[in-house]
Amino acid sequence: MKKYILGVKIDDVNMEEALETVHHWLQKSTKKYIVTPNPEFIMTAQKDPEFKKILNDADLSIPDGEGLKLSGKIKNTVTGVDLMEKLVEKSVDWGFAVGLLGGMDGVAEKAVECLQKKYPKIKISFAISDLTTNYPLRQSYSEASQLPTTDLLFVALGHSKQEKWIVQNLPKLKVKVAMGVGGAFDYFSGKVPRAPKWIRDLGFEWLFRLMIQPWRIKRQISLVKYLWLVMLS
């Protein structure tokens, strides 16, 4: 069910519904993209009309973050990290291939190594990182059409950048479903520890992230602004 928070569309789906939707898409020859709005996304959208339109035009906009529930409009939470891992897991049974693009210092390649240990039968089309700093690599893939074919594409370029890249390049990409995943590769590669499940279940994953990455405090200011605007709306 579509809901709107501060003018940004959210599909209030649970994990099962999200997986069912993506599985349906993968069986067709269409191109779709998924976004993962959280309070920070919503605040960025307030001052970036292009990003806001991308979020609202998305084929699936999952409710990523407990903060969305504070609006009183959203019942479910499906994080981008959890959806990515579930899609990787399901891709084995569904028979579809996966591609990883983005991140720094070889994190996409490392994430694939870790995922392959957990899901040995996973089909990996490619894993490419360091596009922003590795000039030869950036030149090799300057055109999205040059990327190998895959069914599921996970893009980690940071919020708003990855969504804009996907929308700009989707017509040229040889993929069925593309999804921006932010820092997910860092978790899967083991570069950054993820909060234990009991902390995530309590809705305090954001606090855990802040404790291990204090630099995030600047980003939490957007959460305060978000809560204030939600209260006023």
Rounded Cα distance between 225 and 47, Å, is 13
Reading the block at residue 25, the tokens are 């898409």
- Looking at residue 67, its pLDDT comes to 86
- Looking at residue 136, its pLDDT comes to 47
- Looking at residue 216, its pLDDT comes to 66
Q: Which portions of the chain are predicted below pLDDT 50? A: 135-137, 139
| DSSP 8-state secondary structure symbol assigned to residue 7 | T
Do 59 and 28 meet the contact criterion of CB atoms below 8 Å apart? no
Do 213 and 189 meet the contact criterion of CB atoms below 8 Å apart? no
- Looking at residue 220, its pLDDT comes to 72
Rounded Cα distance between 33 and 168, Å, is 11
Q: What is the pTM of this model?
A: 0.89
Other CB atoms within 10 Å distance of the CB of residue 191: 17
Positive or negative, the Cα torsion across 230, 226, 103, 132? positive
In what helix (H) or strand (E) does residue 52 lie, and over which residues does it extend?
helix 49-57
Report helix angle 80-94 to 15-26, nearest 10. Answer: 50
- Looking at residue 3, its pLDDT comes to 96
